[in-house]
Amino acid sequence: MKNKIALIGAGSIVFCKTLLNDMFNTPAVADFEYALMSPTMTKIEKMKNYARKIIDKNNLKAKVYATTDRRDALKDAKYVILMFQIGGNDAFKLDYEIPLRYGIDQCIGDSMGPGGIFRFLRTYNILRDIDKDIQELCPGAIVLNYVNPMGMVCSYLGKATSMNYIGLCHGVQTTMDLISGYTDVPKDEIDFIAAGINHMAWFLKLEHNGKDLYPLLKENMEKPEYYINEKVRGEVMRHFGYFMTESTGHLSEYLPWFRKNKKSLDLYCDQPDFGGASGAYYKFSAAVQEKFNKIDVLSIETGELEPRSKEYCSYILEAVETNIAFKLNGNVLNKNYIANLPNNVCVEIPIYVDKQGLHPLTVGDLPVQLAAMNQSNITVQNLAVEAAIKVDPELAFAAVSLDPLTSSVLNLTEIRDMTIEMFEAEAEWMPEFSKKSLKKIKDINIPDGTVGAPVPQDPALAINNRFGKLGE
């Protein structure tokens, strides 16, 4: 195993650029070899040139190369970073537009709902193949996963692969910025505990110098100028008592109360972009792609190192390399870390990292109402993972059917028809599922005047029907 970092999906211009800058800014890994891998050379060649510009300008010892050969990138890697999206914006468009025709209005569509489920079904077989390569070419490598849907992906990695992985998100970091602003307390002075599942972890503790910050946060959330920024997160806290880690646009999809009809959308999801707008993430991604197709933004970069971002990646590598412990919130399989959520499902919890690896912390029970909301998402994630492992379209249909948003809008026949249409439209990215089909089930027509078939009755019920209800 060499001092090598493999970046799988390095064509992600915004995200890969951020992580490279962070790692070049981290002395412990600044002289590593970086393998940039993507299926085509177009984007990663530009990323390689950008990286070399930084290396040359800052006199770094790092080496970087681009390849379309995943096995070449993974060979002898010490760390593997996953950040790909199967199907790109072509598939993302289908994830958004097909459900919308059925009345399922998604803002983000990458973690739950029909969009999140189908994004995962396009992804799992690639994860399986990457795992086989890792076990052969770089066994023991630490895998840092940024691929969404995080909950389904990390559950699958834990159940169906041998990867030594952690799932990473920036919801905790960015929400702490918001909480700091809303309580007027410096972020690094807030003592907090956050736990739950990805995109729905809860701030169980918020303190400053031993003083509970929740009363102030809740008081400010009652003010229109605060509430308007985070209507859904604010509303959930007002009713259930705790603030959580994702924006209104995200959370509005994970629960049944906020996007089920026009009244709810107008009331809670009327702000632009990730404040709840329809298709916000797809439209943003499409706009970024169009812009980058016209302008090579990496070619005009100066090569100056920017300050490290909020992303956990470089800090984890630094902790492993230096043995200076770093605490973060990460996604791993539950092993009684959260006692009232099922084991062997993805949970997002506090974790320490050092030279010995990852050390998840035990949280105990979540408040019951929070565990219940998490469980509504975990059920969907588990069904999607089982659908992938068994290549079973009926289980995929069950996952879509039990999705909180979908089930609040459509009946089962409508959900089945929508799921069939999505399988057909996205078949090119799901080769195993394309060999199977989801059975269409029509509604049963009941002619006027139909009399129900005789139903055998319990003797006690027959007596009751004959003589009237007992006690009357």
Q: Which two tokens stand for residue 262?
A: 């026009």
Tell me the whole-structure pTM to 2 decimals: 0.94
Q: Which two tokens stand for residue 170?
A: 């920036």
How many Cβ atoms sit within 10 Å of the Cβ of residue 267? 13
By mean pLDDT, which of 23-37, 40-54, 143-157, 207-221 is the weakest?
40-54
Are 155 and 333 in contact by the 8 Å Cβ rule? The answer is yes
Give the model's pLDDT for residue 296.
Answer: 79
Percent of the chain with pLDDT over 90: 89
Whole-number mean pLDDT of the chain?
A: 94
**Catalytic positions:** 170
Q: What is the mean pLDDT of residues 70-90?
A: 97
By mean pLDDT, which of 113-127, 178-192, 446-460 is the weakest?
446-460
The SS3 assignment for 306 reads coil
Higher pLDDT, 145 or 468: 145
Tens-place pLDDT, residues 109-143 = 999 999 999 999 999 999 999 999 999 999 999 99
Give the model's pLDDT for residue 300.
Answer: 76
Q: What is the mean pLDDT of residues 175-204?
A: 97
Angle at which helices 393-402 and 368-390 cross, to 10°? 160
Contacts by residues 429-436 (CB-CB < 8 Å, ≥ 24 positions apart):
429/86, 429/87, 429/91, 429/122, 430/121, 430/122, 430/125, 431/125, 432/125, 432/391, 433/121, 433/391, 433/393, 433/396, 436/391, 436/392, 436/393
Give the model's pLDDT for residue 302.
Answer: 82
CA 31/CA 70 separation, integer angstroms:
22
Q: What is the mean pLDDT of residues 89-99?
A: 97
- The secondary structure of residue 140, as a DSSP letter, is T
